[in-house]
Amino acid sequence: MELIHRDGLSRIARFSTGHGIIETPTVMPVVNPNIVVISPREMKRLGASSIITNSYIIRRTERLRETAEKYGIHSLMDFDGPIMTDSGTFQSYVYGNVEYNNLEIVDFQRKIGSDIATILDIFSRPSDSHSEAESAVEETYRRINEIDDKEGAMIAGTIQGSVYPDLRARSAGLMGSSKASYLPIGGVVPLLESYNYTKLVDIIIDSKINANFGKPIHLFGGGHPMFMAMSVLLGVDMFDSASYIKYARDSRLLFPDGTRDLGSMSAFPYWSPINGKFTVTELLNTSPEERTKSIAEHNLAAIFMEISEIRERIFEQTLWQYVESKARSHPFLFNAYRRILERSRELAKFEELYKKSPFFYFDSYSDSHPVLERIKRFSESTNLGGREMEIAGETWKPGRMDGGFISNVYNRTDHRIRIRWENLSVPVELNETFPVEQVISASRGQYSDFRSEGRKPDQPGSVDEGGVEAIRNFDLQKIRTVADLQFIAGIGERLFPDDVRIIKSRNTGRIRNIMTPDDRIIATMRAHDGFLTLNVEGAMRLKEISAFPMFRVQVDNESASFNSKGFNVFFKFIKVWDQDIVPLNETLVVDENDDVVAVGRSTVSGYEMGQYRSGVAVKVHHSIAGEDKLDS
């Protein structure tokens, strides 16, 4: 997998097959080779770049088998893009044992030229006992290990484990470390059919975070657009869908938020390929064959329209907002969304340091968003009791801290002053740091002007405004507090000693550069998110005050020579890395001697770092030998 864009666990990525590159997230329409309602060629027009068909059906149907063996699966399906083949596992679940074993069906898939061949795994039902599901996990793992390492098709090793978290985690770990290069999550169709999305949330999370991030994750049977965005949010890359044709046969139309019966509709939406061809009444009166095909086309259009929206949301880093709004369209989705919130601490380590988009605060449910977990934990760690006060206010902007607050209150007291921000209480020094300032909220407080409020003599607001010496500096404490949040508590004071010079923008009054007394830039405070971008001087300081390998990736010396000139760091050259790296945070690049050669922003978390084998791991913005890149 090569990562292109990410938003938490969701990602736009690409991987190569024998018949082209697949870019995720996407859907493979299921094509029954015996009953082709919409040809794979027509599916391309509707958005399909790859398809999935069933090798078991092809093998047991003589005319299909002969054509596939002679001319190949792509000729049989009349499709020149990537084709994945299933093995017959689901047929075994529905009808009983199939007549071929695992090695036979995989060899057949390879013989006919499948791009992604699936092992004959053991389907685990939600009703299986723990021991039954465990046996299925063990047998499925045995079957992936009996496949040889021939070149050609990618091998799909299915993650099983029924509804048991320990077994899902175990199966994901086994398959993730096996020769399987493609990881479907299996045994979930009964849950999808019963709309048990809450249980599916647990299964997807347990599978995703315990598998291998360098391999595509596929949700078998997850082709309804209603649940796709939530699945992608939790790390699913690929889907297959037979829903487009199954629902069409029952005269049911798919929409991003659910399903509608043809007979209960008055008109087709503007985006539907049916719109303009038929009225509802006309389509109801056509032949069953024409009606089924027309609705199937609509359903595929709905599926790929949703995929297009999801991809755009990942690029904008607003997928969570989209899922949160969709979740309120159906009670089953909302229950699943609440389950995600219950597991937000597990998801927080995959969240970027900041987002392109503002944070949307809807209501108290937003308090459990993974984005808030980092600032929540930090704020709790600084809540030590003693002399502390809290102020109320709306979203702060540079001029909002005037009115004498900084000079007459903050700088003249040692109180820990905190902001009442939604339902949290955060240090006032984070007033411009994501997401405190970068928030769009349904509830807004009122700013308190300390000069006009009556206060008791022992409160900071009653300080005499004349002739009182300042005992601290807001700007200095601000950059230190941001550094503590961005890296680790206590590091700000060591990174920025008392003699640093703080340069502010003449236009906005915001902090821009933090410099040494001899005018070397240590760091820049970014205006759009309030976090710090380190220069080489700052990188070297951070390295000196932190133990190896904190905040850094170590590359081999050959790579280091290129990185020192400003080139990005690629995953394959990394030897050692900090497991606690935060995505998009400042990351030091060091050589084999632990000497700093560059600094940049990590594209992934430390948890993921060792699992990708291709693509950029750290986007370098400053280096010791090359020209500094512009901060972005």
Q: Is the preceding omega at residue 288 within 30 degrees of 0, hence cis?
A: no
Beta-carbon contacts of residue 389 (< 8 Å; ≥ 6 apart): 415, 416, 417, 418, 459, 460
DSSP 23-79: EESEEEEB--TT--SS-HHHHHHHT-S-EEEEHHHHHHSHHHHHHHHHH-HHHHHT-
CA–CA distance, 86 with 52 (Å, rounded to integer): 7
Give the type of residue at 247.
Y
Active site residue 363: no
Cα–chain-centroid distance for residue 51?
24
Contact 80, 48 (CB under 8 A): no
| Of 566, 508, 568, 505, residue with least CA distance to 535 | 566
Distances (CA, A) of 136 to 123, 129, 437: 7, 11, 50
Of 86, 115, 484, 578, the catalytic one is: 86
Residues facing residue 320 across a β-bridge: none
Contact 11, 24 (CB under 8 A): yes
CA–CA distance, 565 with 578 (Å, rounded to integer): 23
DSSP 392-444: E-SS--GGGGTTTHHHHTGGG---EEEEEETTEEEEGGGTTSTTTSSEEES--
- Angle (CA) 410 415 421, round 5°: 75
Beta-carbon contacts of residue 108 (< 8 Å; ≥ 6 apart): 55, 59, 100
| Of 209, 150, 153, 161, residue with least CA distance to 182 | 153
CA–CA distance, 608 with 612 (Å, rounded to integer): 7
Which residues have a catalytic role annotated?
86
